[in-house]
Amino acid sequence: MARKNSETIILGVILLAVFGLMWALNGSQFVQFENIQSMAFQLPELGILSLAMMITMLTSGINLSIIASANLSAITAALILTNFVTPDANGIGPTAIAACAVTAGLLVSAIIGLLNGFLIAVVEVSPILATLGTMILVKGASIVLTRGYTLSGLPEPILFIGNGLVAGIPMPMIIFILCAAFMAAVLNHTPLGNYIYMIGSNPIACFFAGVNNTAVLFRTYLISGVYSGIAAMIMMSRFNSAKADYGESYLLMTVLASVLGGVSAAGGFGRVSGLVLALVILQLVSSGLNLLNVNPFLTIAIWGMILILVMVVNYLSARYQETHPR
Amino acid sequence: MRRLWRYQETYVALVIIVLSCAITLLNPNFLTLENLFDLLKSYTFLGILSIGVLFVLISGGIDISFTAVATVAVYTTMYFTLQHGGNTATVLFMSATIGAALGFINAVVIHFFNIPSIITTIATLNIYYGLLTVFSGGTWLYNMPEWFRHFAETNVISLVNPDRVPYGLSVIPLIWFVVIVAAWVILRYTMLGRGIYALGGNLASAQRTGFNILALHLFVYSFMGLLAGIAGVVEVMLAQRVATNSMVGKELDVIAAVVLGGASLTGGVGTLWGTLLGVALVGIIGNGLTLMRISSYWYNVFIGLVIIVSVGVSAYRRKMQRRRKISVEVE
């Protein structure tokens, strides 16, 4: 328990320090409403994808296929939208078609999640290999479907998901908050959540405790898949397009964000609150440096440095607690 | 003979044979020396990197950062060479040294702070690549020196095909052969090689057996970096320009090839032979699709299916083996 708390405290301190630093560097511009609103538009994509990554990492797995499956669901939805929504819509309104497209997109990502679940839980392929395979396969399917082109020009109702405001709060942010809350509820307040942590700590002990590991892993990868589908809808709507290789740099960033948020790479540890803190830190750094006109590639280098720094601090504080028992 | 069926390498070899026969039936151009030489040349980059990845996987770690290492090493080297001159040997040496130094940094972080290698190398990938793009401004380097172009176009074996078009075995795959031989000697005949297997098999046992874990870590990641530096030069030799963004993003493809060859991500398992087969399989699928006139859009679908089926089959066999063992215990 002490370890978890100290991690949250470290993250909180870093968050405040980064916020203070960016405020000092940028002046009042940084805390203006417009800037905060634009941060709230940018954070959810990486945020929801990171949640999709996190839940698999808790079971000591990983899901390398999240970006590929997000792109395939966006392409599926975009294909439906661009082919069926015409100016002379016959009978069915564009909103209904948009709803169908979103459902189809989510269904695709759910199916990919089930495929991952099958490979990992039933065939017992190691998660990194199984999802590496599905990543390449699913990306291949996207390329075949689009011939490598970009699908663009989506109809109005779908654009609201990524660009709309509800009472001044960006729609993606609302979706992200709902996703995070649901994930936190599942992890902290359901048996499934408990089993997920148990499998991550010790799958054999968990199995002998009478848990159906297969079912738990299936659900884990299903949730992960659906979350990548939700992120896909936001990405598609924000870019107003879909393509086979959008957002590939997000893949390693989701691992980075999860680990920064205290998710153990070996599984079993990590909370949604830590991940959210980590995401806010990363967003503050990138928005703050962006306002200063810093090269975005310097930003990703700084993200990497923050990750190593946090891991080193965690390591040293764990060592200190071992050598100085209270 | 029955022992052979226990190894994933056997299955990969069989798939390669069947695939080669099928492609040759559809297009006899596949099984020509010309095509083989071409394949060797274009897959030298992947081949060299895959050997570095194999070492890291055997040692029980993983390295994601090697594409960034390769880019940084070759970019710095060519930037320096374009201004101060040099020759092929200095280019290879300098790039390999920079690569090894960056790998060394990975090893230091992984060893001393006990951070999982996947996390360390994801972080250093972003750091190396980010800083390079900042300092280079993302500009590509063109106008490679004359001697550099000349070296890349050198053939060690020159032949003429029936249509009187000359072809030959490029000097570039020779770099790969040298790396293969070096890796084979290290893994097979040195204490260092046994140490790497021991480290991946069981860290605590390796330590108690008296292996120097720090030295092994430093070697494995520096060697990966060294090979990345060399592979970076190979990529530039083939393309005759230095791009900042042509390699980063391919790291998982390389790891996939090594894993196809039977290396295990949990460490301690993996052979050079298998890795070569894995690279060959990836190369033959890509080449075969072109020769069978199947659109290259299908490339990823095929590779993905092959990976899923191959890791699926071997995982399923392991699972069945475990079942059998458990039932014996019950009796």
Contacts of A91 (CB under 8 A, 6+ apart): none
CA distance B118 to chain A (A): 9
Q: Judge contact between B241 and B141, C-beta under 8 A.
A: yes
- HSE toward the beta carbon, residue A248, CA cutoff 13 A: 11
Q: How confident is the model at residue A110 (pLDDT cuts 50, 70, 90)?
A: very high
Q: How confident is the model at residue B76 (pLDDT cuts 50, 70, 90)?
A: very high
Query: Quick one: three-class SS letters along B60-76?
Result: CCCCCCHHHHHHHHHHH
Distance, C-alpha B271 to centroid of its chain? 13
Q: Which one of B64, B118, B126 makes the best mutation probe of the A interface by having the most chain A beta carbons within 10 Å?
A: B126
Q: Radius of gyration of chain B from Cα atoms?
A: 21
Return the pLDDT at A311: 83
As a whole number, mean pLDDT of residues A266-279 equals: 86
CB within 8 Å: A133 and B304 = yes
- Please give the share of chain B, as a percent, with pLDDT higher than 70: 96
Q: What rounded mean pLDDT belongs to chain A?
A: 84
CA distances from A15 to A61, A107, A276 (A): 28, 37, 11
Q: How confident is the model at residue A326 (pLDDT cuts 50, 70, 90)?
A: low
Question: With an 8 Å Cβ cutoff, is B320 touching chain A?
Answer: no
Taking CA atoms, what residue in B is nearest to A138? B301
Is the sign of the CA dihedral A270, A273, A276, A278 positive or negative? negative
Question: With an 8 Å Cβ cutoff, is A292 touching chain B?
Answer: no
Rounded Cα gap, residues A198 and A107, in angstroms? 28
Q: Which of A20-24, A246-250, A268-272, B61-65: highest mean pLDDT? A: B61-65
Return the pLDDT at A179: 92
Buried b (16+ CB within 10 A) or exposed e, A206-244: beeeebebeebbbbbbbbbbbbbbbbbbbbbbbbebbbb
Q: What rounded mean pLDDT belongs to chain B?
A: 86
Q: How confident is the model at residue B52 (pLDDT cuts 50, 70, 90)?
A: very high
As a whole number, mean pLDDT of residues A66-71 equals: 92
Rounded Cα gap, residues B60 and A147, in angstroms? 38
CB within 8 Å: A119 and B308 = yes
Q: How confident is the model at residue B331 (pLDDT cuts 50, 70, 90)?
A: very low
Q: How confident is the model at residue B197 (pLDDT cuts 50, 70, 90)?
A: very high
Return the pLDDT at A47: 92
As a whole number, mean pLDDT of residues B256-280 equals: 86
Return the pLDDT at B132: 92
Rounded Cα gap, residues A135 and B251, in angstroms? 13
Q: Which residues of A touch B307 (CB under 8 A)?
A: 129, 132-133, 136-137
CB within 8 Å: A139 and B252 = no
As a whole number, mean pLDDT of residues B325-329 equals: 59
Return the pLDDT at A225: 93
Packing angle of the helix pair A66-84, A33-58 (nearest 10 deg): 120
The count of other CB atoms within 10 Å of the CB of residue A183 is 21
As a whole number, mean pLDDT of residues B209-236 equals: 93
Q: Which of A4-18, B105-119, B255-269, B301-315: highest mean pLDDT? A: B105-119
Q: Looking at residue B140, what DSSP letter applies?
A: P
- What stretches of chain B show up as alpha helix (H) in DSSP? 8-26, 33-42, 44-58, 66-84, 88-113, 117-136, 146-153, 172-189, 191-201, 203-209, 213-239, 251-260, 272-291, 299-330
Q: Judge contact between B81 and B91, C-beta under 8 A.
A: yes
Q: How confident is the model at residue B329 (pLDDT cuts 50, 70, 90)?
A: low
Question: With an 8 Å Cβ cutoff, is A313 touching chain B?
Answer: no
Q: In 3-state terms, what secondary structure has residue B133? A: helix
Q: In 3-state terms, what secondary structure has residue B294? A: coil
Buried b (16+ CB within 10 A) or exposed e, A46-61: bbbbbbbbbbbbbbbb
Residue with tokens 């560097």: A25
As a whole number, mean pLDDT of residues B210-225 equals: 93
Question: With an 8 Å Cβ cutoff, is B127 touching chain A?
Answer: yes
The encoded tokens of residue A240 equal 């107003």
Q: Which residues of B touch A299 (CB under 8 A)?
A: 130
CB within 8 Å: A124 and B255 = no
The encoded tokens of residue A38 equal 């634009």
Q: Which of residues 250-269 of A touch B (CB under 8 A)?
A: 252, 255-256, 259, 265-266
Q: Judge contact between A128 and A243, C-beta under 8 A.
A: no
